[in-house]
Amino acid sequence: MTKVEEILEKGNFEKETITALLLAGEEDSGALFRKAREIKKEFVGNRVYFRGLIEYSNYCAKNCFYCGIRSGNSRYARYEMTGDEVLEAARYAWQNRFASIVLQSGERDDEGFIAKIEQLIGSIQDMARNELHITLSLGEQKPETYRRWFKAGAHRYLLRIEDANAELYRKLHPNDRHHAYQSRIDALMALRATGYQVGTGVMIGLPFQTVSDLADDLIFFRDLDVDMVGMGPYIEHQDTPLYEHRNQLLSLRERLQLSLKMVAVLRIMMKDINIAATTALQTIDPMGREKALQAGANVIMPNLTPVKYRQDYLLYENKPCLDEEADQCKSCLETRIQMAGDTIAYGEWGDSKHFEKRK
């Protein structure tokens, strides 16, 4: 029996065994992916939930060192979708039975923004007769803001911890009060207390990041008892400060493999949560998302942002689907998901089973 098989059989996931799994070579990873697939089938089924992604605005008050739309980058034209455009995208999701959308944006916490989002959530719910589940991915906010948006009709919230190691977090962000590690943790706690299904996640293959850090990230998800995780490879962007460390990075293929192993180990550790096959995987490999589905992921976020805005929402370079309209991505994904051996769960909200149990 190989070391990987032995760990999988014993099923004890502590720092040391998690690290060993993340270090598994190509041959041993086969056993890991197989195990994750079995668990996915048993606990969440071979089904994929769609979350229609609406990239509402690229205005951002923050300046994260890895991100292309950071406030310090003047290369992109800044945009904000109109209310009608958001409703149109949400209507597409509703009519095509996606059952769920994600409203994502650069981070802002001014009252104008907060009120606009609150009103948009209400209008979407009215338009779709409360049949769409709304996930927000709008960064760190005051507990009161989280409560307002929840009351307006949002159900889930994604806030990546980016990296659970506080020291590394500091290296990835400016050292000021807008980018404090503890505020991020407090925000995650406030989201849980408000009643959201809470999702977090990390980037994989960041400069300075070690496999030991990634093992800690998985332990962080378990300790926080999250309902959803979205994580994907870090992809360098030339207009960002981290670009100067590109020589230290793992190759793109290695980052992809490591990301797939992270998904697989997480599926085995947290059997009934929702795990996204993130778009960044597809930047590295056209089949990246399908490979993640086969390694245990069960959520995909087809992009519903109007095509005219897409080239201005480049958090990283070589983002896929810049020219494809929603319909094209939908049929493309239908074929690919079928090839991966899964079925799209049209018309189902797909709440995390983990969340349902905790309720």
Closest separation in Å from C-beta 312 to ligand SF4 = 12
C-alpha distances out from residue 214 to 27, 57, 110, 220, Å? 21, 30, 34, 10
Place of tokens 């041993």: 28
Which residue in the block uniquely carries the two structure tokens 């059952």?
99
Give the nearer residue to ligand 5AD in terms of CB position, either 37 or 160.
Answer: 160
Q: How far apart are CA 143 and CA 191, in angstroms?
A: 7
CA distance linking residue 133 with residue 158, whole number of Å: 13
Residue 235 interacting partner from ligand 5AD, ligand SF4, ligand FES, none (CB closer than 5 to 8 Å by kind): ligand 5AD
| DSSP class of 162 | B
Contact residue for ligand 5AD among 24, 31, 214, 235 (CB under 6 A): 235
Query: How open is the CA angle 75-234-77, to the nearest 5 degrees?
Result: 15
Residue type, 303: N
Under rule CB under 6 A, residue 24 binds ligand FES: no
Q: Of 130, 135, 159, 161, nearest to 149 (Cα)?
A: 135
Q: What CA–CA distance (Å, rounded) separates 94 from 76?
A: 30
Beta bridge pairs of residue 134: 101
Q: Which of 56, 66, 309, 355 binds ligand 5AD (CB under 6 A)?
A: 66
User: Which of residues 24, 36, 44, 67 is near ligand 5AD by CB under 6 A?
Assistant: 67
44 interface partner picked from ligand SF4, ligand FES, ligand 5AD, none, CB below 5 to 8 A per type: none
Dihedral angle over CA of 130, 132, 137, 142, nearest 10: 10
| Binding partner at 267 among ligand FES, ligand 5AD, ligand SF4, none, C-beta below 5 to 8 Å by kind | none
Given ligand FES, ligand SF4, ligand 5AD, none, residue 316, with its beta carbon under 5 to 8 Å by kind, binds: ligand 5AD
Could you tell me the smallest distance in angstroms from the CB atom of residue 277 to ligand SF4?
20
> In sequence order, what are the residues at sequence separation of 6 or more whose Cβ sits closer than 8 angstroms to the Cβ of residue 175?
none
Residue with tokens 């509703």: 94
Binding to ligand 5AD in span 105-164, by CB under 6 A: 160, 162
Judged by CB under 6 A, how many residues of this single chain contact ligand FES? 6
Q: Which stretch binds ligand 5AD (CB under 6 A): 46-54, 147-155, 233-241, 284-292?
A: 233-241
Which of 143, 153, 142 has the alpha carbon at shortest distance from 117?
A: 153
297-336 binders of ligand FES (CB under 6 A): 321, 324, 328-329, 332-333
98 binds ligand 5AD (CB under 6 A): no
Token pair in block for residue 19 = 């690290």
With CB under 5 to 8 Å by kind, the binding choice for 106 among ligand 5AD, ligand FES, ligand SF4, none is: ligand SF4
Which of the residues 260 through 299 are near ligand 5AD (CB under 6 A)? 280
| Closer Cβ to ligand 5AD, 149 or 313, answer by number | 313
Other Cβ atoms closer than 10 A to 75: 11
Contact footprint for ligand FES (CB under 6 A):
321, 324, 328-329, 332-333
